[in-house]
Homo-oligomer: A and B are copies of this chain.
Amino acid sequence: MNNVLTEFAGLYEKFESQFNNRHFPEKPEKLYDAAEHYLSLRGKRIRPVLCLMGNELFAPLKQDAFFAANAIELFHNFTLVHDDIMDHAVLRRGHQTVHKLYGESTALLAGDVMLIQAYDYLSKINTTHLPKVLSLFADAAKKVCEGQQLDMEFENRDHVSLDDYVNMISLKTSVLLAASLRIGSVLGGAGPANQENLYSFGKNLGIAFQIQDDYLDAFGNAEKFGKKHGGDIMSNKKTFLHLRAMNVLEDGKKVEYAKLLQGNDETKIEPIIRIYRSCGVDEWAKKLKQKYFDLALKHLEEVAVVSVRKNSLIHLAESLMERQS
């Protein structure tokens, strides 16, 4: 655990020391204060650090990797601002959301300038790799929007298959993790096969992480996890656990489950968790997570660099998987 902290913390600090400034002019004040809001709250910065790690796997860190990392973090925060408008979210990282503080129209525009600023950072990258990086970035950016669209559509659909859900999660969250690594590796000079294996590593790791996130919501130690216990259950989110339960519950139990879903208060959380346990959703989710995690590591193994160089990525992946109780 110490190693990964040092490795991650080292790159985090390097990233932060050049990112933790204003990214926008002073005026118009309201627009650009709104655009700075989430950036100044800091975040885990996993995506930009993955980009730097992708570079370091193949070559010493380059300035271009910082431009790309800045763009990726700007893009990620742009999606948070716009998603929060769509989801009518009130809080983010314990603070008021941008649209709650500045109004929906300014939040919408602030998101727009954040996306433009992301591309402004990319445009500083040396032309040797610029077209490739732009194309990988656009591909990931479109997929993230597609994922958000599918996520919204699934909320209003009765039946969602597990494959559809995995596809949506890949688009909405995994693809950006994967692209961050791949863009970093391009800037480090990686060849196509290495780029693709790193991309697959990131994509499968992201799916494993989402399964764990869903698992912890119901079965995790809420205090350690840092999120409210049963929050997904309260909001009737179509999680991995829900979809599995719908697939395996017998008809009688399914009726009971459907009735519980209609509840509007916290008393429904524990009975639903009991139903999950009764049909083995907890063990199933653990196994599924392990399947995607193993697949991720298999792709990392295929990356043709001396294995010691991969340690920081392996440590980071393991620490992401260790968040459970």
CB–CB A146/B28 < 8 A: yes
Q: Is A148 positioned at the interface, with any CB of B under 8 Å from its CB?
A: yes
- The docked-state distance in angstroms from the alpha carbon of A31 to that of B152 is 11
Copies in the complex: 2
CB–CB B28/A153 < 8 A: yes
CB–CB B145/A119 < 8 A: no
A152 partner residues in chain B, CB cutoff 8 A: 105-106
**Chain B: minimal CB distance from A99 (Å):** 11
Stretch at the interface among A108-116, A287-295, A297-305: A108-116
Q: Is A138 positioned at the interface, with any CB of B under 8 Å from its CB?
A: yes
Q: Is A123 positioned at the interface, with any CB of B under 8 Å from its CB?
A: yes
Q: Is A53 positioned at the interface, with any CB of B under 8 Å from its CB?
A: no
- The docked-state distance in angstroms from the alpha carbon of A282 to that of B106 is 34
A150 partner residues in chain B, CB cutoff 8 A: 28
Q: Is A236 positioned at the interface, with any CB of B under 8 Å from its CB?
A: no
- The docked-state distance in angstroms from the alpha carbon of A265 to that of B142 is 45
Q: Is A120 positioned at the interface, with any CB of B under 8 Å from its CB?
A: yes
- The docked-state distance in angstroms from the alpha carbon of A150 to that of B104 is 15
CB–CB B138/A119 < 8 A: yes
- The docked-state distance in angstroms from the alpha carbon of A27 to that of B164 is 13
**Chain B: minimal CB distance from A164 (Å):** 11
Instruction: Tell whether A141 pairs with B116 under 8 Å between CB atoms, given A123-B135, A148-B109.
Output: yes
Instruction: Tell whether A86 pairs with B105 under 8 Å between CB atoms, given A31-B149, A127-B130.
Output: yes
- The docked-state distance in angstroms from the alpha carbon of A223 to that of B145 is 42
Q: Is A4 positioned at the interface, with any CB of B under 8 Å from its CB?
A: no
- The docked-state distance in angstroms from the alpha carbon of A31 to that of B142 is 11
CB–CB B120/A108 < 8 A: no
- The size class of the interface chain A forms with chain B is 35 or more
- The docked-state distance in angstroms from the alpha carbon of A28 to that of B212 is 27
CB–CB B142/A134 < 8 A: no
Q: Is A85 positioned at the interface, with any CB of B under 8 Å from its CB?
A: yes
Instruction: Tell whether A138 pairs with B116 under 8 Å between CB atoms, given A108-B86, A127-B130, A145-B31.
Output: yes
Q: Is A191 positioned at the interface, with any CB of B under 8 Å from its CB?
A: no
Cβ-defined partner of A127 (8 Å) among B31, B86, B127: B127
Within A27-43, the residues touching B (CB, 8 Å) are 27-28, 30-31
Q: Is A131 positioned at the interface, with any CB of B under 8 Å from its CB?
A: yes
Q: Is A182 positioned at the interface, with any CB of B under 8 Å from its CB?
A: no
CB–CB A149/B116 < 8 A: no
CB–CB A112/B145 < 8 A: yes
* Chain A residues near B (Cβ < 8 Å): 27-28, 30-31, 82, 85-86, 104-106, 108-109, 111-113, 115-117, 119-120, 122-124, 127, 130-131, 134-135, 138, 141-142, 145-146, 148-150, 152-153
